[in-house]
Amino acid sequence: MNKGLKIFLITLLVILVIAIVVLTTLKLLHHNTQTENTSPYSQTAVNVMQELNLYDEINKRDYSKTVETLLETNELEKKYLDDYYQIDYANITNFGTVINELLNKNYTSEEINYITKNMASDINILLNMDYVNILAFKDITNFDINNLERYLTYQEENSEYDLATVVTYVNIGLDKEGYSEYSEYTEEEAQNDLTILVNKYHKLPDDYEPDDLVALSYSNGYTYYLRKEAAQAYEQLSSAALLDNVIVYPFSTYRSYDTQSKLYNRYVSRDGREAADTYSARPGFSEHQLGLAIDIRSNTLNDNLTDKDYEWMLDNSYKYGFIVRYPKGKQHITQFMEEPWHLRYLGIELATKVHDSGLTYDEYYDLYMK
């Protein structure tokens, strides 16, 4: 081969190589340009799609903000791709991490959408637990995610109760021993709110005394005090009862913290603390200190109501703003033995609602007033 032909062939080969390189480069540039122009996703997301070999798979589907976010944060897991398309994007911290952790715990897309929309600030509670059928709580209006573990434990121990009942009972505090944990009202709350709940989980200040106590007209050698509004309502109730031949008298009304303390300690000395706790409130936990509770007796009894008089109170006391606070058959809720004689003033409107609900005040308060 002569020298000229050899140079020609080498030159031709170099030109061919350059042409191939140029064409390949142009093709790649064209492909990238086409990707940028046709994909609805950000370039960052597109780059990750290509790395994962998911460009065609993702772009043949409708756009998903959730998918884009997971691509941009490099948190997309191929095995959950179908699930991502069913999960609505939510503007929450560490969205991708949260979604993947919930999917890893076997939450469905429906459950995840409910969680991110309704429990955004409390998701860590679920992330620190095994899977929970969270949608079972969806229609329970007094559900509190902070009590979730307590609900599950109480339900396991009390399978006879449905989930709504479990939620209410735990919210009341029935999964814990009475007085073991409680909140305390301020004097202002006690004075200004006639509807506050006082029980083994809600306490009054030791030195609280209502500033509007008045004496009832009935004395029998003692002076009985209630707050003014409750006293006026009781006078109306007793007069109405008399018209139906129901004759009742008060035998215990307002009691100070000190009075309740002496009474409770006397019962403890006589019967022991465990027994005393079933029928007497510890000081600070008695409705009598509110000045809104009154114990009444039938004229034929020393400290109780006849069945007839009790039924009259159940059917009529709410019309004057009172409820039977510790009705028969509700000891497992109120945490006190039945006290047919113990009335609590709430005002006509609220007392009527409690009466019509058929609930104890503990239940009603948690369901509708907290």
Residue 370 has a pLDDT of 86
Residues 52, 78 contacting (CB under 8 angstroms): yes
- Nearest-CA neighbor of 362 among 326, 321, 312? 326
> Residue 60: how many CA atoms within 13 Å on its side-chain side?
5
Distance (Å, rounded) from C-alpha 323 to C-alpha 344? 5
Q: For residues 172 and 17, which has the higher predicted lDDT (pLDDT)?
A: 172
CA-based radius of gyration for the chain: 36
Distance (Å, rounded) from C-alpha 94 to C-alpha 120? 11
Q: What mean pLDDT do residues 73-97 have?
A: 97
Distance (Å, rounded) from C-alpha 234 to C-alpha 7? 122
Query: Which of 10-19, 129-138, 273-282 bottoms out in mean pLDDT, i.e. has the lowest?
Result: 10-19
The b/e string for 300-323 (b: 16+ C-beta within 10 A; e otherwise) is eeeebbbeebbebbeebbbebbbb
SS3 234: helix
Residue type at 339 in one-letter notation: E
Q: What mean pLDDT do residues 129-147 have?
A: 97
Does the pLDDT value for residue 95 go beyond 70?
A: yes
Report, as residue numbers or ranges, the catalytic residues: 339
Residue 21 has a pLDDT of 61
Residues 111, 134 contacting (CB under 8 angstroms): yes
Residue 7 has a pLDDT of 67
Which residues are 249's β-sheet partners? Answer: 297
Residue 37 has a pLDDT of 47
CA distances from 301 to 225, 235, 305, 308 (A): 21, 20, 7, 12
Q: What are phi and psi of 19, to 5 degrees?
A: -65, -45
Residues 325, 314 contacting (CB under 8 angstroms): no
Distance (Å, rounded) from C-alpha 148 to C-alpha 322? 34
Q: What mean pLDDT do residues 164-182 have?
A: 98
Q: What is the DSSP string of 193-205?
A: -TT---BTTEE--
Residue 23 has a pLDDT of 65
Distance (Å, rounded) from C-alpha 285 to C-alpha 184? 9
Q: What mean pLDDT do residues 309-329 have?
A: 98
- Nearest-CA neighbor of 78 among 110, 60, 51? 51
Residue 26 has a pLDDT of 57
Distance (Å, rounded) from C-alpha 158 to C-alpha 175? 10
pLDDT, averaged across the chain: 94
Residues 313, 304 contacting (CB under 8 angstroms): no
Q: What mean pLDDT do residues 300-324 have?
A: 98
- Predicted confidence (pLDDT) per residue in 191-243, tens digit: 999 999 999 999 999 999 999 999 999 999 999 999 999 999 999 999 999 99
Residues 345, 293 contacting (CB under 8 angstroms): yes
pLDDT band at 340 (very low <50, low <70, confident <90, very high): very high
Overall residue count recorded for the chain in this entry: 370
Whether domain 183-368 has CATH 3.30.1380.10: the reply is yes
Does the pLDDT value for residue 35 go beyond 60?
A: no
Residues 246, 324 contacting (CB under 8 angstroms): no
Residue type at 176 in one-letter notation: K
